[in-house]
Every structure is written in structure tokens, then in C-alpha cells.
């Protein structure tokens, strides 16, 4: 599995050109990309700037020698490279297992080209098939938001910490609800519906924004495009 992740991360380097501003995604697959990008920047003395989507991406970029910039400092993001938890045949995504979905969506959405890196286990027939939709919420409103989500025939659970007692707290200081749907028929519609609930900061459905998905398979890298 890790080999497949490395393979797609290497393939994604082909989209990088000197002078680019690159959105740096979160998660184990993008971590390979960030390390490889750092190596490329050093070896070829490229002028690349990275915009991280989380503390994880930021720390790794710094460690890998990629100059880091913020949204305030750039006019445009050329490409963004990020992972995903589910990818449907129309390139709609579920993201946010790492709780970084809000910053990821801001950066991935703004990028000229949004490239997604996954292994083949992430491909599904429809969104919601395997994974819940992570939803970042204002902490004091989590319970009422969970009730609102259940109107859509989903069950919502407050995500608890592993090396922390109580709920996890995102990079933005919020909570995460994991909403398990039977099946998401219309990803774009559900993405909008969830964001309409007062107190929801952002949700992990990324409908209609991925341009390219690189899939690591046992036979090599497969490319899906919109």
C-alpha cells in the first residue's frame, strides 16, 4: 500500500514546474509528495513555494526544505496536490480523515489544477460507500448540528481523540462530526446542504473540483481526468 502511495507521489512531481506555488495537502500519501518535492527543489534549485493545508503539511514542508507561504502572500496557487478518502467515478471526493478538510478545501478550490493522489482502495461506486463524511463544526453547536445531520438519514458521531481525552480539536480550534450516510446520491447538493446548517464550518465532500486523480494500482499509476 505504501509503495502505491509513493508511486503516485512520484508521478505528481511531473505536474510541478519551476516558479510554481504549490498547495500541499495533508495525510500519508501527500506526505510522500512533500518529501519528494523537497528533494527536487534542493537538487534542481527550483524556486517553488508551498502553501500548507495543515500543521502536518507545514512542518513537513519546512523539514523538507520547501519555502512555505500563506494565502495572504500569493496572488494565485498554480497546483494543489492532496489525498482523499473516497473517489467516485465522477471524481467527487470525501476528504478529512485527518481533520484538515477546511484548509484543504480553501487551497484545493483555489488551485489552477487540483491533483488527487490515492491508492486503488479509495475508489468507490458512490460517495458514502465506505467512509463517513467529516464535518468541521463550532464546538458549542456540535450536538444540535448532529441532530440536523440526522434529517438526511445519516448518523453523526463526535470524533474523539486518541492521545487526548475528549473530542479532537482541529487546526482551527473546532470539533469534527463524522456523518455516516447510506449513500450520497447527489454529492454537490449534499455538500451545499451540509454547509447550510448553522454552525458548520465546512464539510468533507469535495464535489466537482478535482481535475486529475492519480491512482496507485498493482499494475502502476492510472490517471483519471475530468
Ligand X SMILES: O=C[C@H](O)[C@H](O)[C@H](O)COP(=O)(O)O
Which residues of the shown chain bind ligand X in the complex (CB under 6 A)?
25-29, 82-85, 95-101, 104
Residue closer to ligand X by CB (options 59, 73) is 59
5 is in an annotated binding site: no
104 part of the active site: yes
By beta carbon distance, the residue nearest ligand X is 27
Q: How far is the CB of 18 from ligand X (least distance, A)?
A: 26
| Three-class SS of 58-76 | HHHHHHCCCCECCHHHCCC
Do 95 and 83 contact (CB within 8 A), yes or no? Answer: yes
Strands laid side by side in the 133-137 sheet: 154-158, 175-181, 133-137, 200-203
Q: How far is the CB of 11 from ligand X (least distance, A)?
A: 15
122 is in an annotated binding site: yes
Catalytic residue among 47, 63, 73, 104: 104
Cross-strand partners of 178: 134, 157
Q: How far is the CB of 180 from ligand X (least distance, A)?
A: 16
Residue 190 main-chain phi, psi, to 5 deg: -65, -35
Residue closer to ligand X by CB (options 96, 132) is 96
Residue closer to ligand X by CB (options 26, 75) is 26
Cell representation of residue 13: 512531481
Query: Half-sphere exposure of 167 toward its Cβ, with a 13 Å CA cutoff?
Result: 19
Binding site members for substrate:
26-29, 82-85, 95-98, 122
* Residues known to be catalytic: 104
**Which residues are known binding-site members?**
26-29, 82-85, 95-98, 122
Amino acid at each position: 500500500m505504501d509503495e502505491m502511495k509513493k508511486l503516485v507521489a512520484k508521478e505528481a512531481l511531473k505536474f510541478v514546474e519551476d516558479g510554481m506555488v504549490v498547495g500541499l495537502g495533508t495525510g500519508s500519501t501527500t506526505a510522500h509528495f512533500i518529501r519528494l518535492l523537497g528533494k527536487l527543489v534542493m537538487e534542481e534549485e527550483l524556486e517553488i513555494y508551498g502553501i500548507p493545508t495543515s500543521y502536518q503539511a507545514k512542518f513537513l514542508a519546512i523539514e523538507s526544505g520547501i519555502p512555505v507561504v500563506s494565502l495572504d502572500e500569493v496572488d494565485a496557487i498554480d497546483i494543489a496536490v492532496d489525498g482523499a478518502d473516497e473517489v467516485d467515478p465522477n471524481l467527487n471526493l470525501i476528504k478529512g480523515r485527518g481533520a484538515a478538510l477546511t484548509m484543504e478545501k480553501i487551497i484545493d478550490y483555489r488551485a489552477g489544477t487540483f491533483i488527487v493522489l490515492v491508492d486503488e482502495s479509495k475508489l468507490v461506486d458512490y460517495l458514502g460507500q465506505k467512509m463517513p463524511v467529516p464535518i468541521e463544526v463550532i464546538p458549542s453547536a456540535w450536538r444540535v448540528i448532529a441532530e440536523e445531520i440526522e434529517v438526511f438519514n445519516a448518523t453523526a458521531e463526535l470524533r474523539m481523540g486518541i492521545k487526548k481525552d475528549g473530542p479532537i480539536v482541529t487546526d482551527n480550534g473546532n470539533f469534527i462530526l463524522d456523518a455516516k450516510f447510506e449513500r450520497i446520491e447527489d454529492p454537490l447538493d449534499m455538500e451545499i446542504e451540509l454547509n447550510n446548517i448553522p454552525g458548520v464550518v465546512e464539510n468533507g465532500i469535495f464535489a466537482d473540483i478535482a481535475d486529475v486523480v492519480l491512482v496507485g494500482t498493482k499494475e502502476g499509476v492510472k490517471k483519471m481526468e475530468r
